[in-house]
Each structure stands twice: as C-alpha cells, then as structure tokens.
Amino acid sequence: MTDSRLAGVTVRVVGTGLLGTSVGLGLRARGVDVVLDDASPAQLRLAIDYGAGRATAPDDAPALVVVCVPPDVTARTVAAELSAYPDAIVTDVASVKVAPLEELAAAGADLSRYLGSHPLAGRERGGAVSGRADLFLGRPWVVAGHDAIPYRGGALVEDMILDLGAVPLEMTAEEHDRSVALTSHVPQLVATLMASRLVDAPEAALGLVGQGIRDVTRVAASAPELWLQILGANSAFVAEILRDLAADATEVVRSLDDLDAPGARRALAEQLAAGNTGVARLPGKHGQDRRFSQVIVMVNDTPGQLARLLTHIGEIGVNLEDLRIEHSPGAQIGLAEIGVLPEVELRLTEELASRGWRIAG
C-alpha cells in the first residue's frame, strides 16, 4: 500500500458510476486520499459505502481531478472543475476525445491544466455496484496529449494510470477518436446491424446458430443509451468508416447478384482475402502476432469436469494460450476449445486422449 506514485496527493473523482468508482477503489487500495463527488447524493453515498473514497470537505485541495461522467456532460463538468480548483490538473475518461477538447477550447477553458484520457476497460454493466479496484489492470489507457498543456502537467495523470495498473498510451485526440471508431464504434454497429437481422428470423434458423454468429453479434447486447452518446460524439469518423463498409457490402451484393459477370467472382475472392489480411493484423496475446493451434475436447456438463481437464493440461505441462467453452444447442455436452502453441498440439492431443478425454475436430 506504500508504493503509490500519488502518495500525499488528494485525487478528486467526479461521477461515481462504474469508472469513477473503480478509479476510487483502485487508488484507495494504494492508500491514496480520494474525494468523491456526484450529482446524485444517493449514488455518492453508495460509492462511499463501497470504499471508493470520502465525501468532500471544505478545505480539500486536490492536485488531480478525474471527471467520470457521461460523454455528453463531460466538457461542461471539466470546465467547472478547472474553475473550482485553479491549481489542479483535470482529466476525464470519456470514450471520445476530440469533442470535449473542442468544446473546452470554445468555452475558453484553461487547457494548460486539462489532459483528456480514456481507459479501454468498459464493461456492459454500469454503476458503482459493478466498480472494481482491478478494473483497469493490464488495460490500455489513452492519454490524449495536446499543445496547450506543458509536459510536466501530464505527470499526475500518468501516475494515476500506473497506480491503477493500466498501460498509458499517448496519442492525439484525433488519433484516438479515429482509432476507436475503427476498433470499437464501427464493430459495435456492425454487430448491431447483423443482430437486427435476427429480429424476424424463423425459429428453425435459430436452431442452426453456431459460434460464428454468436461472436459476430455479441457486443450488440450493449446499452443503446450509452452508445447513442458515444456514436453521436464521434459521428464523423464512424460515418466515414461505415460508409466505406456499406459500399463494400453493396459491391459484394452486386457480385452475388450476377456471379458469372466478368470480374464478379474475383471481386468476391479479393474481399474474402482482404478479410483474412485484416484479421491477421489484430495483435495476438501479449502483443505477439502469433496463431495458435486449437485442440477441442468434449466435456460433460458437470461442475469440476473442466477443472479436471485443465489440471490434466497443467500436469502435461502445456501452457494454455486461449480457451473457450462452446455448448451445442440441445446437447448436454460442451466443447472446450483450447488454444496452444502449434508445436505442442500433437503431444497435448495424444496425452489427453490417453487420459480418456474425447478429442473432437
């Protein structure tokens, strides 16, 4: 508890939803003095009860203010904090960075003390109840540098990020918004667009659902209210990418409509190949760009079965690179898909089979 980079500093957290509460809990766990505030007194009391920090006192002098409110009220809250604490550095955690910066500049706020940031640690659940001290552990946390803030002004923000166990990544607000449009906001919409095809799907079709469509549509379950705000605040970059995607989709439809037209099959093949190329660029585990072999093992649907399997894998001495469980509709059996380095696949398969496990393809 004594290794905090923020020892002796008071940090003020404004907004005690999932992120604010988690920031408070994480800093408190390191012994940092955390002051909480929230527009809702009930929400504030709850976060204090959870141990995320203490109530504001008249003589508080926070060196760092962390604004953790919804995107559409972020800029005005940051501006208010900059005025209220003229010696403090103020950051925010909104998932868009250009809009708040522009809004603050337009309002004549003191940008020499504002450094926006964004932890990539959102979850589908919100509220103080879901807050966790370890929410940010190992996650990237973007710091959106700009020209108005001096270099040393960013130190407290980086200290907080490191205290919370996250990995600071420096980029401009525009780089950030363009990046998350691609890696988060458009994928969200793509999942939504695919999932909405299922609204009127016949029951029989739903019986044929496999892991593919489950994966493609999973994030479509997220809360529309939050996503409306996020998409609204990043609409230009999102629209640009989605427009290209829709044009490609229309091109694929054109190919499918007349596959014997000159170039149609080739266009479709090139689209599929581009998909291969794109997905291969996603960083692998620990940033390695490495592909794993899959070993698929049947597991009965009883507690302890999977633990037994993983104990055996540990005994065999093979490291699990990835793991997922798949259940077939209508079957009282599951498949454990185990990702391992290609060089150990054969040995693992043989040793598991010799211990009585049923290996699938």
Minimum CB separation from a copy of itself for residue 46, in Å?
15
CB closer to a copy of itself, 138 vs 150: 138
How far apart are the C-alpha atoms of 238 and 232, rounded to whole Å?
9
Minimum CB separation from a copy of itself for residue 16, in Å?
14
CB closer to a copy of itself, 39 vs 194: 194
CB closer to a copy of itself, 285 vs 355: 285
Could you tell me which of 197, 198, 190, 181 has the C-alpha nearest to residue 222?
Answer: 190
Would you tell me the crossing angle of helices 224-233 and 186-196 to the nearest 10 degrees? Answer: 130
Could you tell me which of 333, 98, 144 has the C-alpha nearest to residue 237?
Answer: 98
CB closer to a copy of itself, 69 vs 89: 69
- 13 and 34 Cβ atoms separated by less than 8 Å: yes
Would you tell me the crossing angle of helices 18-28 and 41-49 to the nearest 10 degrees? Answer: 30
Token digits of residue 169: 């990544």
Minimum CB separation from a copy of itself for residue 59, in Å?
32
Could you tell me which of 255, 191, 188 has the C-alpha nearest to residue 217?
Answer: 191
E-strand spans in 161-220? 167-171
Minimum CB separation from a copy of itself for residue 8, in Å?
26
CB closer to a copy of itself, 80 vs 226: 226
Q: Strand 333-340 relative to strand 322-327: parallel, antiparallel, unpaired?
A: antiparallel
Minimum CB separation from a copy of itself for residue 317, in Å?
7
CB closer to a copy of itself, 257 vs 343: 257
CB closer to a copy of itself, 243 vs 355: 243
Token digits of residue 295: 């070993």
Minimum CB separation from a copy of itself for residue 131, in Å?
6
User: Residue 340 forms beta bridges with which residues?
Assistant: 293
CB closer to a copy of itself, 61 vs 194: 194
Minimum CB separation from a copy of itself for residue 57, in Å?
28
- 4 and 28 Cβ atoms separated by less than 8 Å: no
- 132 and 25 Cβ atoms separated by less than 8 Å: yes
Token digits of residue 354: 């010799």
E-strand spans in the chain? 10-14, 33-37, 54-55, 64-67, 89-92, 117-119, 140-144, 167-171, 293-300, 322-327, 333-340, 359-360
Minimum CB separation from a copy of itself for residue 39, in Å?
22
